[in-house]
Copies of this chain bind each other. A is one copy, B any other.
Amino acid sequence: MNVGIIGALGYSGEVLVKRLLVHPQVNLAAVTSRQHAGKVLSKMMPTVRGTAADRLLFVDSDAAALAARNDIDLWFLALPHGGAADFAKVLVPAGRRVVDLSADFRITNLATYENYYGKHHAPELLPGARYVQPELTDPAWQETIKIAAVPGCYPTSTLVPLVPLLKAGLVSREHIVVNSFSGVSGAGKKNDEFYLFVERAESAKAYGLVKHRHLAEIEEQLALLTGAKTIIQLNPHLAPMRVGIATTITVPAAPGATLDSVYETWHKTYAGRPFVCLLPPGDMPDTAYVMGTNRVDISAIYDVRTNNFIFTSAVDNLVKGASGQAVQIMNLWSGFPETAGLF
């Protein structure tokens, strides 16, 4: 199967290129760039020198021309929000499948989207789009959609531990506090003084309080997947590391809930899922251990003094938090083994 990437030169795009180059079932047949059309991919992405990327040339980012390519079945969009919708509205009518890493199709409710992101460029496509957290979204999505929206990094690290427990009624829907520490690549490749090495090394700090954009999709998914509106406090932070997200969720236990019932619920939900790894209480996930993998490591502990559960999780923000998950979605959608290309 031939696939293409629109927007390969950001951090997510680069991880996507690497995964697709070694994927046994697909062929990376096109990468696009307005600015670099005609150049060799590996010239612009030195980490993939010595691979097929030495023989792949950027093609122009012309949506109509790309949509006309009959050889390409599925396109990955690794673009800023807004731009993704602009491409999708040409590719989808041409019958192409789209896996979108931007926020454009993550929010079902148009008003919510526009509250967080501004005007939507292609609201008419929303009914054919679906937010796909592969471990949580109803598998029927594979039959029905045209656009798969890949969850963001904070949402993945939050939804995977929390959703099954909310559904099972094991935790409160109030006083949920989510603190996340993200590697600097989470901000994308931005030419901003704030992201210079000298500024970020030795720096830990909160940012984006109190209305980070990922709130929109987390809270909408909490409602859709668990059946009731749920408001959370999301405190994002930056840590001086390249990749990774460590998330710590504090939430009051529901009456009668025990640590055992938490682990049982998780086991039931994630049995056989290759990318969710349950750690025993007291063994807290570490971003270094998931780096480069498509795993979410999760763990729980109960504090008898406060009656809170504390759930901790770790993902690689560029892999399970973006491009690895995108490949996982493609695998499921295409009938490939779920782990293909995702070692």
Residues of A within 8 A of B (CB): 11, 18, 21-22, 46-47, 49-51, 175, 177, 179, 181, 183-185, 189-193, 195-207, 209-211, 231-233, 235, 237, 239-246, 248, 250, 252, 274-275, 277, 282, 284-293, 295, 297, 301-303, 305-306, 308, 310, 312, 314, 343
Protomer copies: 4
Contact A47 B293 (CB under 8 A): yes
Of all chain B residues, which has the CB nearest A47?
Answer: B289
Question: Residues of B contacting A287 with CB < 8 Å?
Answer: 202-205
Contact B305 A205 (CB under 8 A): no
Contact B343 A204 (CB under 8 A): no
Contact B189 A193 (CB under 8 A): yes
Of all chain B residues, which has the CB nearest A341?
Answer: B343
Among A183, A209, A314, the most chain B Cβ lie within 10 Å of the Cβ of: A209
State A184–B202 Cα separation when bound (angstroms).
Answer: 11
State A290–B197 Cα separation when bound (angstroms).
Answer: 17
Q: Which residue of B185, B277, B310 contacts A210 across the interface (Cβ within 8 Å)?
A: B310
State A193–B244 Cα separation when bound (angstroms).
Answer: 20
Contact A237 B246 (CB under 8 A): yes
State A72–B47 Cα separation when bound (angstroms).
Answer: 35
Whole-angstrom distance from the CB of A122 to the nearest CB of chain B? 28
Contact B206 A185 (CB under 8 A): no
Whole-angstrom distance from the CB of A8 to the nearest CB of chain B? 15
Contact A202 B288 (CB under 8 A): yes
With A50-B275, A233-B306, A305-B210 as known contacts, state yes or no: A241 contacts B179, CB within 8 Å.
no
Contact B343 A21 (CB under 8 A): yes
Q: A206-B310, A292-B292 are in contact. List 18 more A-B contacts (CB 8 A).
A: A18-B343, A46-B289, A47-B291, A51-B343, A177-B179, A177-B308, A185-B198, A190-B196, A195-B197, A196-B197, A197-B240, A201-B201, A203-B288, A204-B244, A210-B310, A231-B306, A233-B308, A239-B241
Q: Which residue of B204, B274, B284 contacts A205 across the interface (Cβ within 8 Å)?
A: B284
Contact A198 B189 (CB under 8 A): yes
Contact A191 B189 (CB under 8 A): no
State A177–B193 Cα separation when bound (angstroms).
Answer: 32
29 contacts between A and B (CB under 8 A): A21-B343, A47-B291, A49-B289, A50-B275, A175-B252, A177-B177, A179-B179, A181-B204, A183-B202, A183-B204, A184-B196, A189-B196, A197-B199, A202-B242, A202-B287, A203-B286, A203-B287, A204-B286, A206-B248, A206-B284, A209-B312, A210-B303, A210-B306, A233-B250, A233-B310, A235-B248, A237-B246, A239-B241, A292-B292
